[in-house]
Amino acid sequence: MDKIVVKFLKPHGIYTPGDIAGFDESHVERLEKLAKSEVVELYKADKADEGGDANKRQGNTGRRGAAGEAN
């Protein structure tokens, strides 16, 4: 069963703006209503979002210096 992946643009239930969630096709009618209200938009992953470690993409290695400061 395919998933419909959306990005939330406005708060809705447990979701906050920027959240990405996948729903079964049985939710298509509800998602269409939310899209018309500009609460969600269809989400398509680009190269930066595919796989890998989020910290590496953001340049954070997680290592700290001798005094405990972030590098």
CA separation for the pair 10, 13 (Å, rounded): 10
pLDDT of res. 55? 47
Q: What is the pTM for the complete model shown?
A: 0.63
pLDDT of res. 1? 74
Asked if 61 and 71 count as a contact pair (C-beta separation under 8 A), the reply is: yes
Say yes or no to pLDDT of 5 above 70. yes
Q: Tokens at residue 38, please?
A: 């500009």
Q: Tens of pLDDT along 8-59?
A: 999 999 999 999 999 999 999 999 999 999 999 999 977 555 555 444 444 5
